[in-house]
Structure 1
Amino acid sequence: MHDFDTDGHRARKRFGQNFLSDPNIIRKIIDGIRPQPGELMVEIGPGLGAMTDPLIERLGHLHVVEIDRDLIARLHERYTAEQLTVHEGDALKFDFGSLCGGQGADDKPSLRIVGNLPYNISTPILFHLAGFADQVKDMTFMLQKEVVMRMVAEPGTEEYGRLSVMLQYRFRMGRLFDVPPGAFRPAPKVMSSIVRMAPLPAEQLGAHDEALLGRIVAAAFGQRRKTLRNTLREFIDDAGLQALGIDPGLRGEKLSVEQYVAIANECVRREA
């Protein structure tokens, strides 16, 4: 595997750049992803190419989304058009569905998304990516460990929140392993973790109105110290919660994903 000369590129704080440089960790991540020849894969933020190289080696061709023009120039110098397609721009605004071409309704989702996600935009990018779940086979990301712990958190724990509920509603989540700060240049001040997200089949989702579910979850966690009686009063009353077997005196973090779906569906039923 070739190494970029990192001396020529300064990590940019505004892009949240920390470049992976430990070959053992890189190998472990690639083994976790298990890329197969010919698969449709996009890497978010390839940076200095630490994962890009072994991914191309196994896939044959890779798509990347990169915002930093200096890095884009390096990628064009290093790889041919047959090996790499570079999409210049902000991953937060990128239409990942455009990579799937004319995927028909009966076709299985084929797009795989990977990347070392910038810590400074991790939550908004995860919500953006969730919007493409029906076109995605799986996603494997490196993120700040603290964010991953929130993504996979169980109800009743301190980490459990809006991110946990909305991602677990749509994906089967799994934390694979941790990555120490020393695996990066420059070394971040935090531990990182690898997480895998596999979209759940549509028939398992259950919410009749997903936008409403999102609003209810956001309200429940908007003021964490308040009870459901207060946070959800514009959606449902005490009697409605009790009819679902939910104590209105509970706080939002005590409810399971299924209970949030039940509340949203009850609201839809009442509006009908």
Structure 2
Amino acid sequence: MESPRDILKRHGLRPKHSWGQNFLGDADALQSIADALELRAGEPVVELGPGLGHLTRFLAATGAQVTAVERDRDMVAVLEKEAIPGVRVVSGNAATVDFAQVAGVPEIALVGNLPYHLTSSILFQVLAQRAHISRAVFTLQKEVVVRLAAEPGNRDYGLLTVLLGLHFDVEEVLTLEAWRFHPPPKVDSAVVRLTRLASPRAPLVDEARFTRLVKAGFAQRRKTLINSLKSDKGLAKPDVLLAALQTAGVDPGRRAETLSPAEFAAIERALGPVTAMAPPPPDAPEPDSDPDADDAS
């Protein structure tokens, strides 16, 4: 298999650091990623950020129908020139694209080596579009995968852990050391598999309110749950929040990182019917990565 360095040289290109381009050309790792997706012949799969097409070739070798979504025009040109059999190349932004629509089918499998700086945006898109995604396999910064797969009570447990955990089984598949990429990033990566559940782990009254509740819970991690929730003054009045915690059987003195997705869902249900809520406070999103770390793509 031709290395990323050689393909770039053949096309007169260099990795774009500002785009988070770190290309994976390790055949064993690429095969493991393709295997983790468990594709069937003829099954539609959307690859986000295919880059030079290394993983794309392994996906196509399964007989799946591959739609490769790439926003870098140089990479689109490379993929079109490489003309990998069974692959359709689409120019688009992975953070905004409608995954199933771009493939022209109602449900897809999803895979990609995601730029670190777009990780949260894409994962929130996965949540929003989950009805059309049977499963997803992503290469992410190692510490992000650890966070997504964390259990309640772990310091790595956070907002996306809960939101994804309500709707998906989340599993770390393997670690990818930095040296496997060209150019190597400053941190290791890992592969995570998300498998959509047949139904959420717990019912909700309103998905948007659940998301807002969890965001409020983690907005001030060092505070008790009741004090964190009260920081979003538009969520509910303090006495209503306290009553909801009591109804859900959740100690208001606990911290958000100790609650399971089902416990957060119980609090959301206990808030009762949805009424008009004031706009939420500005987001303070969890960091995807060390600000000094290189991006990968």
* TM-score when normalising by structure 1: 0.91
SS in 1 for 2:175: strand
Match of 1:65 in 2: 69
Q: Which amino acid aligns with 1:163?
A: L
Return closer, same or farther for 1:89/1:101 CA change in 2, 3 Å cut-off: closer
* Pairing 1:14–2:10 present: no
CA deviation map 1:16-64 (0-9, x unaligned)? 1110021221222222223222110010000111101121122253101
Q: Which amino acid aligns with 1:57?
A: A
- In the aligned structure 1, how far is the partner of 2:83 from the partner of 2:274? 57
* Structure 1: gaps of 5 or more residues: 104-109
Match of 1:210 in 2: 207
Q: Which amino acid aligns with 1:212?
A: R
Return closer, same or farther for 1:35/1:204 CA change in 2, 3 Å cut-off: same
RMSD: 2.0
- In the aligned structure 2, how far is the partner of 1:244 from the partner of 1:202? 20
SS in 1 for 2:112: strand
- In the aligned structure 2, how far is the partner of 1:140 from the partner of 1:29? 7
Does the Cα contact within 8 Å between 1:111 and 1:137 map onto a contact in 2?
Answer: yes
Map 1:162-201 → 2, pairs under 5 A = 162-201=159-198
Deviation (angstroms), 1:130? 1.4
Deviation (angstroms), 1:191? 1.2
* Pairing 1:139–2:139 present: no
Deviation (angstroms), 1:163? 0.9
**For this pair of structures, how many residues does the alignment match?**
265
SS in 2 for 1:115: strand
* Pairing 1:150–2:153 present: no
Larger relative contact order (C-alpha < 8 A, sep ≥ 6)? 2
- In the aligned structure 2, how far is the partner of 1:83 from the partner of 1:231? 50
Match of 1:84 in 2: 87
Q: Which amino acid aligns with 2:140?
A: L
Match of 1:221 in 2: 218
Return closer, same or farther for 1:100/1:264 CA change in 2, 3 Å cut-off: farther
* Pairing 1:261–2:265 present: yes
* Pairing 1:23–2:27 present: yes
Match of 1:107 in 2: none
SS in 2 for 1:268: coil
Identity rate, percent: 38
- In the aligned structure 1, how far is the partner of 2:265 from the partner of 2:91? 38
Does the Cα contact within 8 Å between 1:47 and 1:66 map onto a contact in 2?
Answer: yes
- In the aligned structure 1, how far is the partner of 2:127 from the partner of 2:169? 12
Does the Cα contact within 8 Å between 2:47 and 2:56 map onto a contact in 1?
Answer: yes
Return closer, same or farther for 1:114/1:102 CA change in 2, 3 Å cut-off: closer
Does the Cα contact within 8 Å between 2:71 and 2:93 map onto a contact in 1?
Answer: yes
Return closer, same or farther for 1:47/1:100 CA change in 2, 3 Å cut-off: closer
* Pairing 1:252–2:249 present: no
- In the aligned structure 1, how far is the partner of 2:164 from the partner of 2:128? 11
Match of 1:106 in 2: none
* TM-score when normalising by structure 2: 0.83
